[in-house]
Structure 1
């Protein structure tokens, strides 16, 4: 069953971390973590996919400005596994987002729009959220 958590009026700033814990569902196709100002303006769209038509299991990062997607950044090496418990940490480090995965792998994605305050967070998809913390 797909879930969705949507938070508005958050205050995630440069140097802050968002820590997400949960379970990737056994039959997961994908889930996503979005950071921005609203659903049409996302500085980071982090989207692990487990059955992508082109690349199989892949990590996709992107941005969305005024409802228009940018160019995807695709990481073919997706260490996330269906049915596993995971902790994912996302950090805004000024001009780049750092995403730390459970195996220690770090994915970086440029802050294309120069957003210095994140006021919108969404977690959705084939994921059972157990913990959410901004620190």
Structure 2
């Protein structure tokens, strides 16, 4: 399953609220925010096989260094809400258990125009405000 949106207008201070359900057979999913598919400021990637969350960025098609977080509040077959706030110099990702992951805006983007959700996640709704 995949969802992709171009021409999004997420500015500093905006929060993206994503609601969805992890599939019953899910092993991983990803939420990507950036300016295009090969210029990703935030790659948010919960991995069930490693029981870890990987965050990363991609510049001109090349992945940079991963940041891992072992706080893993996701379960297969369960509906979740994820809130991602664009702070300008970083992203704050609020997980379903209220744990917050901070990830730097390595690409120094002023606004986010691209959103993609891939993997074993069925998006129910999203809102950016």
TM class, shorter-length: over 0.9
Greater strand content: 1
> What TM-score do the two structures reach when normalised by structure 1?
0.93
What is the aligned counterpart of 1:90 among 84, 96, 108? Answer: 84
1:74 aligns with 2:68: yes
What is the aligned counterpart of 2:113 among 92, 116, 119? Answer: 119
RMSD: 0.7
Q: Displacement of 1:79 after TM fit?
A: 1.4
> What TM-score do the two structures reach when normalised by structure 2?
0.97
- Structure 1 runs of 4+ with >3 Å offset: none
Q: Displacement of 1:116 after TM fit?
A: 1.4
Contact 2:19 2:81 in 1 (8 A): yes
Aligned residues: 129
1:57 aligns with 2:55: no
What is the aligned counterpart of 1:8 among 6, 9, 12? Answer: 6
- The one-character-per-residue Cα deviations of 1:43-98 (angstroms, maximum 9, x if unpaired) are 000000000xxxx2110000000000000001122111111110000111011100
